Amino acid sequence: MRVDVVSIFPEYFAPLDLSLIGRARENGTLRLAVHDLRSWTHDVHRTVDDTPYGGGPGMVMRPEPWGEALDALAPDELSPDGHTLPRLLVPSPAGVRFTQAMAHELAAESHLLFACGRYEGIDQRVLEHAATRMRVTEVSLGDYVLFGGEVAVLVILEAVTRLLPGVLGNAGSLDEESHAHGLLEAPMYTKPATWRGHEVPEVLRSGDHGRIARWRRDEALTRTAARRPDMIAALPPESLDKRDVAALDRAGFQLPPGDVAK
């Protein structure tokens, strides 16, 4: 996968040289380039912002440097090596929610291009114009505001690159994780069996794989009901069997009335 990132703070991306993402870059799984937006400015002050039309606080990123950056990184004509246009992603508190499902979708792309806004954001015409020749997605990690899109890009890139074939050594850990099945995962434990007076639940040491699976399912349901009732409400009713409904009932969770349970 090819990834380009445009930012006025390219130093933010130094951590991408490290660890598993760094290894994916070394072995060619990930071809990542970070670009300084100011390299597409022409004035002596390398200006990237201006005051907002309509008034209001703060500054807005000027369209001209962004236009040139996107022209350079997503050329209009198809490149000779047959490369398709990138998918443009713009972190913004006004974007659609980034989810594990979107991470999977992005991991299937061959080229991602991230535009990191700062201040009050990027002149909207940049996105409008880009949308005339490539797929553009404004994306939000959650309902909070950062100084800019850089940290959001680090998060998205980590979520996406760990799904690329060959990046995660342990492929099994991909499909039993939180959010893969619409429930939070059960708690995990390792040795020693007793630590500072706290015990690992007996069932996990029993060797009874059936009991262990049921216990983990109950824990996942209980914990999800307590922490993320929205996720329980979103479960397809047919995904819950009678023991699931009983576990939720013990947790005091009121399921919406309806066709329940095998």
Q: Which residues are annotated as a binding site for S-adenosyl-L-methionine?
A: 117, 141-146
Is residue 142 a contact point for ligand JAH (CB under 6 A)? yes
**At its nearest, how many Å lie between ligand JAH and the CB of residue 146?**
4
Is residue 178 a contact point for ligand JAH (CB under 6 A)? no
List phi, psi (to 5°) of 115: -110, 115
* CA separation, residue 134 to residues 2, 9, 86, 193 (Å): 16, 25, 7, 54
Q: Is residue 79 classed as helix, strand or coil in its secondary structure? A: coil
CA distance 24 to 19: 9
- Residue 144 CA, distance from chain mean position: 15
The burial class, CB within 10 Å (0-12 / 13-18 / 19+), for 126 is buried
Length, in residues, of the chain = 262
Judged by CB under 6 A, the residue of 85, 107, 146, 168 near ligand JAH is 146
Is residue 5 a contact point for ligand JAH (CB under 6 A)? no
Judged by CB under 6 A, the residue of 148, 232, 244, 247 near ligand JAH is 148
Task: For strands 194-195 and 198-199, give the pairing.
Answer: antiparallel
Q: Inter-axis angle of helices 209-227 and 242-250, to 10 degrees?
A: 50
Owner of token pair 């004509």: 77
Judged by CB under 6 A, the residue of 145, 175, 191, 259 near ligand JAH is 145
Is residue 152 a contact point for ligand JAH (CB under 6 A)? yes
Pattern 122-141, ligand JAH, x by CB under 6 A:
------------------xx
Is residue 91 a contact point for ligand JAH (CB under 6 A)? yes
Stretch that binds ligand JAH, among 35-43, 81-89, 146-154, 239-247 (CB under 6 A): 146-154
Cβ atoms of residues 78 and 135 within 8 Å: no
Is residue 52 a contact point for ligand JAH (CB under 6 A)? no
Cβ atoms of residues 37 and 73 within 8 Å: no
Is residue 100 a contact point for ligand JAH (CB under 6 A)? no
Nearer to ligand JAH, 30 or 153 (CB): 153
CA distance 54 to 61: 15
Is residue 65 a contact point for ligand JAH (CB under 6 A)? no
What tokens were used for 69? 């950056």
**At its nearest, how many Å lie between ligand JAH and the CB of residue 93?**
5
Nearer to ligand JAH, 24 or 106 (CB): 106
**At its nearest, how many Å lie between ligand JAH and the CB of residue 162?**
19
Nearer to ligand JAH, 10 or 91 (CB): 91
Is residue 118 a contact point for ligand JAH (CB under 6 A)? yes
The burial class, CB within 10 Å (0-12 / 13-18 / 19+), for 143 is exposed
Q: Which residues bind ligand JAH (CB under 6 A)?
A: 91-93, 117-118, 121, 140-142, 145-146, 148-149, 152
